[in-house]
Structure 1
Amino acid sequence: MREGLRERKKRETRQAIHDAAMELFAERGFAGVSVVEIAERVGVSKMTVFNYFPTKEDIVLGPMEESFGDIASLVRDRRPGESLVAGVRREFLERLARHAPETGLDDSPGFLRQLSLFRQTPSLGARLLMFHVAAEAALTAAIEEERPGDPRAPYAASQLYGLLRTLQTQNTRRIYQGQRAEQAYPDALAAANTGFDLLESGLGDYLAP
């Protein structure tokens, strides 16, 4: 579907707010920048900023949360006959190969700025933790849609999301320590396959027909 002028304008404004905020945060830190300053840098009102991002933390985390996409799609979009582990492994490895931000294997300047902000800003770390809790709950709900009343659903979701978080953490550490994404990719791929192999031993063909 072709993007309309209104939608394109809104997308461009949202991106401009994010970019301006990240530049200011890099200069003076998260706490040292006000929403008013961000608005002035873009040439919009303070209210416009809040229309796109309800909180200052959303300016940093919103795009990241969107890039991860709907976590439930990892369950719902599996191929016919594909188990839960097999489907998520395939999708994660595809994203890892293209260095998607949600895998942690992203060496773009914007992602590196985000990593620095997370390390320097407790409120962002707390918000990120809330995101992980909500994402795991969404994964559980998607499994329960397919298997209503299955007592194993929350445990399967917990193990699977725990692996995704571990892989993301390992990859962000590689990038933060100075490796380029292409350089780190072989080790990241090996780690992912090791993790999914271990998970598959435990969950096996769960959710396969």
Structure 2
Amino acid sequence: MYQAVSDAAIALFLEKGFEKVPVAEVAAAADISKPTLFRYFPAKEDLVLHRFADHVDEAARVVTERPAKRSPLDALQCHFLDGLERRDPVTGLCDNAHVLAFHRLLYGTPSLVARLYAYQERSERALGKALGETVGEPLGETLGEPLGETPPDGQALAARLAAGQIIAVQRILALENWHRIDAGESAEAVWPDAVVAANRAFGQLRSGLARYA
């Protein structure tokens, strides 16, 4: 039901524009009542952002399910690079016409961009929790601080700060890729630079902000 209603809504939004389609029209297209629609989607924006629902805890899952002896940051970097290789739309490196149309709808609608930040905040919280559970593993080494030497409250804050930085890096990398694709470059042409940028960004996560200190 979630997928069917979301797909119906996105089709209407792409055809007419997000602001020009009332929720009642979406409900009619999905053959459900308006109150039923709101039981599934609390806000109109969620009809579009449902496509990101499965990705909200993706970074946290990568950390939790990573191979033994692989650090959280290494696992996240490998996952992002794999996404670039697969042209995963979440990395911004996808020139499929349908994906491009969806991204133009998303980034061209201020209320959708604002709602997207709420989804990213949930990703940060989930990742922060996953990172916090890795205390005693190689986390501190890869993020630049031996967390085992700090009190529990400090460890929790460090994990939340790290999660915020990681999610921000992934968001900025994806946006940079998408801007180039939207300007007319192919995913194949952008891919080498996207890999270099991702490796550089994750390297900066490891080294911290010494350059700007």
Query: What range describes the TM-score normalised by the shorter chain of this pair?
Result: 0.7 to 0.9
Find the residue that maps to 2:45 and give its secondary structure.
Answer: helix
For 1:100 and 1:76, the matched residues in 2 are separated by 21
Letter matched to residue 177 of structure 1: A
For 1:44 and 1:108, the matched residues in 2 are separated by 31
Structure 1 residues 153 and 43, CA, compared in 2 at 3 Å: closer, same or farther?
Answer: closer
Q: How far apart are 1:31 and its partner, in Å? A: 1.2
* Larger CA deviation: 110-119 vs 97-106: 110-119
Structure 1 residues 46 and 108, CA, compared in 2 at 3 Å: closer, same or farther?
Answer: farther
State the Cα RMSD in Å: 2.2
Answering whether residue 77 of structure 2 is matched by residue 89 of structure 1, we say: yes
TM-score, scaled relative to structure 1: 0.80
For 1:51 and 1:24, the matched residues in 2 are separated by 20
Answering whether residue 199 of structure 2 is matched by residue 193 of structure 1, we say: yes
Does the Cα contact within 8 Å between 1:68 and 1:102 map onto a contact in 2? no
Q: How far apart are 1:67 and its partner, in Å? A: 4.0
Find the residue that maps to 2:87 and give its secondary structure.
Answer: coil
Which residue does the alignment assign to 1:120? 108
Answering whether residue 12 of structure 2 is matched by residue 24 of structure 1, we say: yes
The sequence identity of aligned pairs, in percent, is 40
Which residue does the alignment assign to 2:33? 45
Q: How far apart are 1:81 and its partner, in Å? A: 0.7
- Write the mapping of 1:39-118 to structure 2, written as runs, cut at 5 A: 39-67=27-55, 69-118=57-106
How many equivalent pairs are there?
191
Does the Cα contact within 8 Å between 1:64 and 1:101 map onto a contact in 2? no
Structure 1 residues 158 and 19, CA, compared in 2 at 3 Å: closer, same or farther?
Answer: closer
For 2:125 and 2:56, the matched residues in 1 are separated by 15
Which residue does the alignment assign to 1:10? none
Structure 2 gaps, min length 5: 136-151
Find the residue that maps to 2:58 and give its secondary structure.
Answer: coil
Letter matched to residue 35 of structure 1: V
Structure 1 residues 119 and 103, CA, compared in 2 at 3 Å: closer, same or farther?
Answer: closer
Residue by residue over 1:135-172, the C-alpha shift from the partner in whole angstroms, topping out at 9 and shown as x without a partner, is 11221111112225425323322322221112111111
Q: How far apart are 1:60 and its partner, in Å? A: 0.4
Which residue does the alignment assign to 1:163? 169
Which residue does the alignment assign to 2:144? none
Which residue does the alignment assign to 2:131? 143
For 2:18 and 2:84, the matched residues in 1 are separated by 29
Structure 1 residues 108 and 195, CA, compared in 2 at 3 Å: closer, same or farther?
Answer: same
For 1:194 and 1:121, the matched residues in 2 are separated by 30
Which residue does the alignment assign to 1:181? 187
Find the residue that maps to 2:18 and give its secondary structure.
Answer: coil
